[in-house]
Structure 1
Amino acid sequence: MRVTDAIEIAESELEERFVRASGPGGQNVNKVSTAVELRFDLRANTSIPDYARDKLKRLAGRRLTLEGIIVIQADRFRSQEQNRADARSRLIELIETSLERPKLRIKTKPSRGAREERIKAKTVRGRVKKMRSQKVDFD
């Protein structure tokens, strides 16, 4: 299963279990195991870079087991084949999201005008507060 040009997941790294799905489907839901449980062993995989592996662990959240296996359950559709494709596409989407590197922030300083504007605003605000605190006697 190809994720990107550089990353490919071998079929041996994926394990699919078919279970009975809940929800609508009539008698079909009681007879046929259409829901798919896709298991991907993240610890055994070597094609995903380390920086993406750490991010993938965070993104997986509850779907990541203590053994390092990502479990994706798909039961959106009534057919097994559609649920298989759905589970695989969700895994690919998760891996692609983990590969995105955060945009580096370039530190900047406030301009001279912005600093002067801030000081001016503080002065004005201070004057307003000072006026409020002074008692005025009207004799």
Structure 2
Amino acid sequence: MRDFSKELSYKTSRSSGAGGQNVNKVETSVTVMWKIAQSALFQEDEKNLITAKLSNRVNQEGVLQLTVSEARTQIQNKKAATEKILELVNKSLLQPKKRKPTKPSKGQIEKRLQAKKQRSEKKDNRKFRF
């Protein structure tokens, strides 16, 4: 897991929702921003992969944004936002293993056909005959 927290920038704003007077006067909501293209820790192909996988969170200037307003304090929200963006980027870099196509074994095929035959015979026996 790569730690690019030094490249992050933060912006605070007032949170919405419950919190009483605290919500109206304190800027507890934190928006964390990261300029993907200017990162020194990632190679170009990794930057392209991040941009492609997180395209719904990246704006036109190539800035990845994430807003957190879960906690009542700005410090907790800043910590949570940093952890979330690090996790998000590192997850986007993971590439799933390629699936190897397999064939069912002869035993499995035989078992399936036998089960079909039994089911067919059972239903045949239900028919009313004169």
Q: Give the TM-score of the pair, scaled to structure 2.
A: 0.75
**How far has the Cα of 1:78 moved from its partner?**
1.8
**How far has the Cα of 1:38 moved from its partner?**
0.9
Tell me how far apart the structure 2 counterparts of residues 28 and 19 of structure 1 sit (CA, whole Å). Answer: 13
Percent identity among equivalent residues? Answer: 33
Aligned residues: 129
Tell me how far apart the structure 1 counterparts of residues 40 and 121 of structure 2 sit (CA, whole Å). Answer: 65
1:110 aligns with 2:110: no
- Tell me which residue corresponds to 2:49: 54
**How far has the Cα of 1:87 moved from its partner?**
0.6
Deviations, residues 85-130 of structure 1 (Å, cap 9, x unaligned): 1110100111221232313333332222111111212223333444
- Tell me which residue corresponds to 2:117: 123
Aligned match of 2:17 in 23, 26, 32? 23
Runs of 5+ unmatched residues, structure 1: none
RMSD of aligned C-alpha atoms?
Answer: 2.8
Tell me how far apart the structure 2 counterparts of residues 34 and 61 of structure 1 sit (CA, whole Å). Answer: 26
- Tell me which residue corresponds to 1:99: 93
Kindly indicate whether the alpha-carbon contact (under 8 Å) linking 2:70 and 2:77 is maintained by their aligned counterparts in 1: yes
Runs of 5+ unmatched residues, structure 2: none
Q: Give the TM-score of the pair, scaled to structure 1.
A: 0.71
